[in-house]
Structure 1
Amino acid sequence: MVDTRRLEKLIGPPRSPEAEADPRLPAPAAPRALALSGHRGARRVGVVPRREQRRTAEVLARWQALDSCSAPSETDRAQEEFNALARRPDITSRFDVLRTQLVQAFRSRGLVSLGIAAPRRGNGASFVMAGLLSSLARRDDLHVVALDLNLSAPALHRYVATRPQHRNGDLLDGTLVPAECLQRLTDTVAIAPALASDDERIASVSAEDLSRLLARIRSEYAPDIILCDLPPLLAGEPAISLSMGLDAMLLVADSATTRASDIAACERLLAEQTAFLGVVLNQYQGSAAH
Structure 2
Amino acid sequence: MPVDQETTARDGDTPDDLGSVQYAQTAVVPMDPAHLERHRVVAHQKAHPASWAFDVLRTQVLQKMDESGWRTLAVTSPSVESGKTVVAINLAISIAQQTNRTALLVDFDLRRPSVARSLGLNRPKSLNDFLDGHASLAEALVNPGIERFVVLPTNRPVNSASELLSSAKVGKLIKDLRERYSDRIVIFDLPPVLAADDVMSVLPRIDCVLMVVGSGVSTQTEVEEAMNRLSKANMLGVILNKDESPTQNAYY
Sort the TM-score into its range (normalised by shorter chain): 0.7 to 0.9
Identify which of 57, 68, 90 aligns with 1:98: 57
The Cα offsets for residues 201-234 of structure 1, whole Å up to 9 and x where unpaired, read as: 5544306443311222245555521000011110
SS at match of 1:111: coil
1:32 corresponding residue in structure 2? none
SS at match of 2:90: helix
The Cα offsets for residues 149-179 of structure 1, whole Å up to 9 and x where unpaired, read as: 1101111123323224345344457664421
Residue 130, structure 1, aligned to residue 89, structure 2: yes
Aligned in 2, Cα 1:57/1:175: closer, same or farther, shift over 3 Å?
closer
Shift of 1:265: 0.9
- 1:100-249 to 2 correspondences below 5 Å: 100-166=59-125, 168-172=127-131, 176-185=135-144, 186-200=146-160, 202-206=162-166, 208-249=168-209
Task: Give me the TM-score of the superposition, normalised by structure 1.
Answer: 0.68
SS at match of 1:267: helix
Aligned in 2, Cα 1:154/1:229: closer, same or farther, shift over 3 Å?
same
More strand by share: 2
Higher relative contact order (CA 8 A, sep 6+): 1
Consecutive unaligned residues of structure 1, counting only runs of 5 or more, are 1-54
Consecutive unaligned residues of structure 2, counting only runs of 5 or more, are 11-20, 246-252
1:250 corresponding residue in structure 2? 210
In structure 2, C-alpha distance between the alignment counterparts of 1:163 and 1:75, rounded to whole Å: 16
Cα RMSD between the aligned structures?
Answer: 3.1
SS at match of 1:228: strand
Identify which of 59, 82, 86 aligns with 2:40: 82
Is 1:62–1:221's contact at 8 Å kept on the other side of the alignment? no
Shift of 1:92: 0.8
Number of matched residues? 229
The Cα offsets for residues 109-165 of structure 1, whole Å up to 9 and x where unpaired, read as: 100110001111111111111111221121241111110111011111233232243
Task: Give me the TM-score of the superposition, normalised by structure 2.
Answer: 0.78
SS at match of 1:159: helix
In structure 2, C-alpha distance between the alignment counterparts of 1:218 and 1:207, rounded to whole Å: 17
Aligned in 2, Cα 1:249/1:85: closer, same or farther, shift over 3 Å?
closer
Aligned in 2, Cα 1:169/1:244: closer, same or farther, shift over 3 Å?
farther
Residue 259, structure 1, aligned to residue 216, structure 2: no
